[in-house]
Structure formats: structure tokens, C-alpha cells
Amino acid sequence: MFAQEFMRNALITGSFVGVACGVVGYFVVLRAQVFAGDALSHVAFTGALGAAAFGFDILAGLFIACILGGLLLGILGERARADDVIIGSLFAWALGLGVLFLSIFTTNSSAGNGTAGVRVLFGSIFGLSTSDVRTSALLAVVACLLLLAIARPLLYASLDPAVAAAQGVPVRLLGLGFLIILGLVAAQASQAVGALLLLGLLAAPAGAAHRLALNPYRGLLLSTLFALGAVWVGLTLSYLFPTLPPSTMIVATAVGTYVLAIIASTGGVWHPRSADGIAGA
């Protein structure tokens, strides 16, 4: 497996994607912003379609749309923590705009561009070039460093925003910065697992970590390891069984990890809280 260049590129890129999603995903679940992550995943596809429809670089459109989407959510939300109404409105607007771009795209684009659009939707981790690997790695490192730099005050602001604000913590600025970082990670991960499956890699490993670790730093480490493990297991399964799509296997492994965490945290007994956790994730 390691002798194949496409697998080496996939494993390296997937590792950086997994680490970034694990680190950011922990705070996404902690701050109850899973819906925001879902909205940004659809914004990613809309941005890519818009760029393709008007002849621009697809990845550039994807990144710009995600970062601006995160910024918009932060500006509109109270203390940069958008509620369901704001997120849902952005979600609906992005989907409607996506339909328009899709109509322009399918009317004017060639079959080759159509294939590129499908790759953004479902991911193309086995088709990444060396340049894609370098770009993905750089963006993942930047996102992780930015998040780790604000991790301590962000944790405080996430657990008790009112007290944090009273203590002088810039709650709104932290929330805004976090949503921008989330947008960056959503864009970075979309090229690997696709816009539609991104949420599974953001939410499931982090949800499992929250169930298994009370200490936030242990939880952050577990979330990262679970996401990284999901990428490696998913890619290995897809390589051994070529009919299995890699993105699907990655997300299926991540969700399977969450289910196992539920079983481990409840002693094998199914509780209503467990079902609520799955619905939320």
C-alpha cells in the first residue's frame, strides 16, 4: 500500500485533515456548534460551484466561501455564537445560491469541470497531487496553531461565557476567530472527504472524546487520535476493497468510533441520552 504514490499522498493529506478536524471538532461539540459546521460544509460546495461556474479556481472559491461564511456567522451571532435561526438562514441561503450556481455550471461547463465539481462534493483523496498535499498540510498546521494559541481562553469562554466576559476575556472576538478557523478547516477537509461528509469527521470523533474524557486536554487528544485513526482505517479499507469509496469509509469509521464510545460510556446499556447524542452529532 505504501509503495503507491496516490496512497502516500492520501495518507499524508488525510493525516493532516484528521488532526485539524479532531482539534477543531472538539470545540465544535463543546460549543454546541455542530449545526454551524454542517452549514459551512454546504457553503463550501456552494463556493466551489460558484467559482467553477464563473471560471475561477474551485479550491479558491471553496476557501473564500468557507472563511467568509464563518465570519458572517460570527458577526450575526450574539457574542459571535450564532443561534439556530442565523445558521439555518445561512444554510438555506447557501443552498439556494448553490442551486443557481449549479444551473449555470451545468449549462456552461464541460464534462471535465463537472467531474471536478463532483469531487468537491464527495471528496477526491485518492486523486490529490503533491502540491495538494503541501497546501493541505500547511493549512492544517496554521489552523491548529491558531486554535491552540487561543485554546485556554476559548475553553473558558465556551464553558461559561458570562463569567468569562466579566473577567475581561474577549468572548466575542474569540468566538469570531473560532468560526473563521472552523471555516478554514472545513475548506481544507472538503477536498479530502467532500463537503457532504465533512460533518461526520468533525462531529463523531469529538463526540466520542467528550463521552470518554472529562478533562478537556485529554478530550482534545482523544478527539485528534480518533479522527486520525478514522482516516487511516478508512483509507486502508478502501485500498483493500476498491469498491468502497474512501470518504465513506473514513466517515463510517468515525461514526463507528462514536457508537463504541456510547457503549463504553454507558456500560452497554442504551439510554435516551445516547440517542439524543447521536441526533445532535
For 254-276, what is each residue's pLDDT tens digit? Answer: 999 999 999 988 865 445 444 44
On the question of pLDDT at 230 being above 90, the answer is: yes
Angle, alpha carbons 266-272-278 (nearest 5°): 80
- Whole-angstrom Cα distance, residue 240 to residue 156? 44
Mark 185-216 as b/e (b = at least 16 C-beta within 10 Å).
bbbbbbbbbbbbbbbbbbbbbbbbbbbbbeeb
The domains located in the chain, with CATH, are 5-280 (1.10.3470.10)
- Could you give the 3-state DSSP secondary structure of residue 78? strand
- What integer pLDDT is reported at residue 20 of this predicted model? 92
On the question of pLDDT at 79 being above 60, the answer is: no
- Could you give the 3-state DSSP secondary structure of residue 209? helix
On the question of pLDDT at 28 being above 50, the answer is: yes
Contact in structure between 14 and 232 (CB atoms under 8 Å): yes
Question: Which one has a higher pLDDT value, 242 or 109?
Answer: 242
Q: Which three cell numbers stand for residue 208?
A: 466520542
Phi, psi for 97 (deg, rounded to 5)? -65, -35
Q: How confident is the model at residue 112 (pLDDT cuts 50, 70, 90)?
A: very low
- What integer pLDDT is reported at residue 63 of this predicted model? 79
For 191-221, what is each residue's pLDDT tens digit? Answer: 777 766 778 888 999 999 999 998 998 999 9
Question: Which one has a higher pLDDT value, 114 or 237?
Answer: 237
- Whole-angstrom Cα distance, residue 161 to residue 79? 9
For 137-172, what is each residue's pLDDT tens digit? Answer: 888 899 999 999 999 999 998 888 888 888 888 888
